[in-house]
Amino acid sequence: MEGTPAAANRVLLVLGLALLAALLGLDLASVAPNRILPGEGVSPWGWLGPGAVPLLAFPLLLMALAWRGSIRALILARALVVVALVLLPWGLAAFAADRVTGSQARVTLGAGFWTLLFVLLMIWVELQARLKGGIWLTLLPLLSLALALAGGHLESLALMREYASRSGAFHEALRYHLLLVSAAVGLSLLLAFALALAMRRFPRLRRGGFALLSLIQTIPSLALFGLLLAPLAWLAARYAWLGELGVQGIGWAPALIALVGYSLLPMTRNSVVALDGVDPGVVEAARGMGMSPAQVFWRVRLPLAAPVILEGIRITTVQAVGLAAVAALIGAGGLGTFIFQGLGQAAMDLVLLGALPILALAVAADSLLSALARLTRPQLRREVQ
């Protein structure tokens, strides 16, 4: 029955406890007088004192709603999470305004903030899985963050200071990262689709083809870059026109080849499975209507296989976004440059300047391609009917 302990959402209960523990035991941020000196951690209690007690009401109320477990309780919990995400950047702005003194002082986000953000997002995912609709609510926290950034309320964050000093290089790295990923996914799609068609036409190619693609997947990324260094350098030295195109042992060429190699297996496998999985009865019906083999493929088999093929593209894109960061080690540029610079300088905010956009790109690509795959399914049902 609704409202009994049997209806409790145990996932939300655990996440609510994690929120409570983060508020009680972790530092929200640290404040440093400049970039060189270490910062001093500040917890919600160290900042607000007894005034931080009301903050405990949020996780406690969330756990109470999770214990109830009804649809109304979960809708109210989702509304509370949205409000918390909307207020989070403004809470940081208030913290910075209260604690930062001097033009060189900066605020570094602490373990408490990242734990709160991660748990709130996990709660949002859990509630979205339980409830229908409401995806538009994600725009409210993004709008709140955009307004806080546009108003300059977060300028004291060390992350924003790193961005301000490297904005030109950041935009160039972001553009290059997107270009490298787009080129890798585009080439992988063409090659994988051609391989899938060849494997369907010549079934003996499947075992050897998938074995080779699986072997490429087992090679560590740095090792693959190293294996490509010597042959590409030799080709550039032997053929001048390749050198003029920028092909060499380091740079974009080995990065692109490696990304394409890693992307071929999931995309080829999904393409083969999708094309083979089309209902033979539908294909026979299309042939009975007088369609030519080309028409059957382009108008029946390929549209019906599209959702599974899109899943392969989604997996490949998310994988390429992350792997492109490692390519910075061989001079390929991209957002990975900031990650490795930050690791070399022990500057975690510089690491985050490269890592957070990569995370955002991966999540955005995953969401958009997943939504596109879902949109194709109802359309395909109508076409089949």
Architecture of the domain delimited by 167-384: Orthogonal Bundle (1.10)
Given this model, what pLDDT does residue 191 score? 92
Sheet holding 29-32, edge to edge: 40-42, 29-32, 106-109
Given this model, what pLDDT does residue 130 score? 82
Given this model, what pLDDT does residue 300 score? 81
CA distance 303 to 51: 59
- The pTM of this model reads 0.81
Given this model, what pLDDT does residue 175 score? 92
Listed by start position, the domains of the chain span: 5-158, 167-384
| C-alpha torsion sign, points 150, 152, 154, 156 | positive
CA distance 229 to 247: 10
Retrieve residue 198's tokens: 């060849």
Given this model, what pLDDT does residue 381 score? 46
pLDDT tens digits in sequence order for the chain, 385 residues long: 444 444 678 888 999 999 988 888 888 888 877 767 777 888 887 787 777 788 888 889 888 888 887 888 888 988 999 999 999 888 888 888 777 766 667 788 888 889 999 999 899 888 888 887 777 788 898 899 899 988 888 888 888 888 888 888 999 999 999 999 999 999 999 999 999 889 888 888 888 888 888 888 888 877 887 788 778 777 777 777 777 777 776 778 888 888 888 888 889 998 888 888 887 888 788 888 878 878 878 888 888 888 888 888 998 999 899 888 888 888 778 888 999 888 888 778 888 889 999 999 998 888 888 888 877 765 444 444 4
CA distance 126 to 248: 47
Given this model, what pLDDT does residue 358 score? 93
**Phi, psi dihedrals of residue 151, rounded to the nearest 5°:** -80, -5
Residues in the chain: 385
Give yes or no for a contact between 44 and 106, defined as CB atoms under 8 angstroms apart: no
Given this model, what pLDDT does residue 292 score? 80
